[in-house]
Amino acid sequence: MAECEIKEQDFTGGAAESFGNFFGPDAIRELREKIFSKESQVLSEGRHRVVAIDLEHDGQSLPVVVKVFGKQGGWKDRYDRSRGTKAARSYRAARFLQKHDVGTPEPIAYLDRWEGSRLVESYYFSRYVTGLRSFKDHLLQIYRDQPECDHFVALITHVAQAMRRMHDAGFVHHDLGNQNMEFRQGSGSYWDPVQILDLNRGRIYEELSDAQRALDFARLRLPSKFLVILYLMYWGEKKPPAAFVRALEKHRSRFRWWAMSRKMRHPSRAPPNHGYPEVQDIWIWDSQSAQAAITMMRPERKKHYPGGRHLAVVAATLKSGFGIWKKYQEVLPEAFQKEVSLSGKIGMSLEACDLDVDRQLEYLEPLGKIPVLVRFCHHESEDVWLKTSALVSDLHEKGHDVMLALLQDRKAVTDPASWAHFLKFVISRTAGKVSLIEVSHAVNRMKWGVHSAKEQGQLWEPLVPLMKEYPQLKISGPSCIDFEYHYILSALEEVPEGLHFSALSHHLYVDRRGAPENLQGKFGTVEKCALLKAIAIRAKTCDSRVVISEVNWPLEGTGIYSPVTASFPRPNEPEHHLHVSAEDYGYFMLRYLVLTLCSGYVDQVFWWRLVAHGFGLVDERAEGGWRGRPGFEMLGHFLKLLGSARFVEKLETREDVYALRFEAEGKEVVMAWCNGGTDAGELGFEFSKVLDVYGDRSADFVLSDAPVYLVR
């Protein structure tokens, strides 16, 4: 890349050889007039001015961007005399990046004018590339209009790859903010190359250390979880070096202190308006795993919890904890002591937005007229709400009992009017077609957008006038998740006057313990359900009915579609330890259903969900098209055999052996299994045949993790 020297009038500089003719004596004078003309296109105005103009020479026209560097102090002028001006350094850096195929607008020239020891004018010229938008602008559009995790990950993947190319070339930017990377989005998932801007602080080295690489991550403005994803993508298959991670935290800590000291350093300047939402208000939806994405790492989440959140939880626990514990001790001995009809107790969840509804209904049909749960999400469009409402109407007409789950996002809290509109929209179109509506979702997880019990109560307030308008409404809640019942107590304290829950609904996952019988402390699934029942009995704002509205196990081999896998797992990362095989998933499901329902503590269980690659009974991404997993066949047989059966008793058995007796259409059936082993001992129940978990005759009677049915 040849270069020509510029010495015209009082100006010195350099230009790429093919553009030298644009910088003759008369041209420089005209350039200065264009740059400062009121008609020039100003791209940025501040300490440094950036304008777009056309260079003219001999009938040729060249659109360029000119960065006009402002005047500076004397000591900086002395530095620039020895190291080159900002314009000269920008030009040299751009030529270096261009030589190494790193994206940056094509360098055209630079011009400087000195008066003695003072730099009085300095300009950097680069080719004008139209349609560029900064990384910052792309992020803001996602936060505002497209809060989809896959789109977010695609965006930061693009940036990570550009940063890696830049560093591998040997260039450290030293001022790499979101605004200093620009690019265009093409059709689909294609992105134009990232253009690196504002290069004057950069340095060129033969090879960069891990600490030097980390320096360019310090100023990036991203939620902490997605910053981690960014640098995982940057390192690719290689694990990020420990030295890089340590240096990154050090550099980011220093930058935070530097940013906080801005007012002291520049007391007369107005504080910058970055335009970003507060990090705790950033909410991203992960459609692959059908849940809100984690945006912040644990330290950042803890920092942004409201101050009174934990105090409210402690106060609610102290207020009602003793009474609930006493009630728990009363109800625990009642497990499996009463007859229970399974008819209408086992429900299934469908997805109206991202999956073919007709195909889901085809797979639902063999399961019979079981209850169905349908989710509405606040972040979705009204068109999606209408489509989901149509599904509800169809299910109602087909004779299914329908329950709704209404999911919030962070905007539901920050923009209450939009949440009230959502509730009115959904309820007005589904009233009379549904038996129960669960309002809000997993509120003890910050990623779902609710940061305190007080905010939870605010989400319920619009329900009070709606219940007067639609007196047939039955609402459930507070829909916390996992074995964290202290959050239930705190949430129930915030139920507004005029609202009473017809059921206590909860999402009771046990995947971290493996099998549903496994203990968490002294609590297995049965004990957890007993405690949940005790809370419902004692709660003044809730009926004693308990509904488990969401449960499943994550499936191995499903990658980012699994609910426990990161949005971007590292290449060659081992299988997550919480994943289970498709067979174990089916075994655990059946055991969970009978333990929760036959114990007498839970009135309904909804499986989440019928179709989902990472956690569903049907795999929509299977090779060759949709395919039912083993659990789908297992549940189908269970419902045919016991779906309308009556549970009679739990047989006395050896440790880890379970045997539950049912009466079904004149037959007696014992469902039996052994948790975590095998057992061929007697059960004290005479039977004429043994059916395996798929309903086929089994030659041998041996209990294992797979339930069997003993029929007489």
Question: What local confidence, expressed as pLDDT, does residue 354 receive?
Answer: 87
Residues 537 and 327 sit within 8 Å (Cβ to Cβ): yes
- What is the tens place of the pLDDT at every residue in 520-559? 999 999 999 999 999 999 999 999 999 999 999 999 999 9
Report the CATH number of the 308-548+602-608 domain. 3.20.20
What digits encode the pLDDT tens for the residues 346-384?
999 999 988 999 999 999 999 999 999 999 999 999 999
Q: How confident is the model at residue 623 (pLDDT cuts 50, 70, 90)?
A: very high
Tell me what pLDDT residue 296 has. 95
| Whole-number pLDDT of residue 190 | 63
pLDDT at site 567: 78
Going by CATH, does the domain composed of 645-712 fall within 1.10.530? no
- Would you place residue 238 in the very low, low, confident or very high pLDDT band (cuts 50, 70, 90)? confident
**Token output for 350:** 């469908």
Query: E strands of 560-645, at which residues?
Result: 604-607, 618-619, 627-628
Sign of the dihedral defined by the CA atoms of residues 562, 533, 309, 454, in that order: positive
3-class secondary-structure state, position 591: helix
Sheet containing 133-134: which strands, arranged edge to edge?
133-134, 181-183, 195-196
Q: How far apart are CA 372 and CA 359, in angstroms?
A: 15
pLDDT of 3 reads: 84
Tens of pLDDT, residues 377-423: 999 999 999 999 999 999 999 999 999 999 999 999 999 999 999 99
Q: Which stretch of 16-30, 42-56, 434-448 has the lowest confidence by average pLDDT?
A: 16-30
| Assigned CATH class of 133-262+276-281 | mainly alpha
The predicted structure's pLDDT at residue 21: 86
- Each residue's pLDDT tens digit, 565-605: 877 777 778 889 999 999 999 999 999 999 999 999 999 99
Q: Domain ranges in the chain? A: 3-127, 133-262+276-281, 308-548+602-608, 645-712
- Give the pLDDT confidence of 633-654 residue by residue, as tens digits: 999 999 999 999 999 999 999 9
Helical (H) or strand (E) element with 157 = helix 149-169
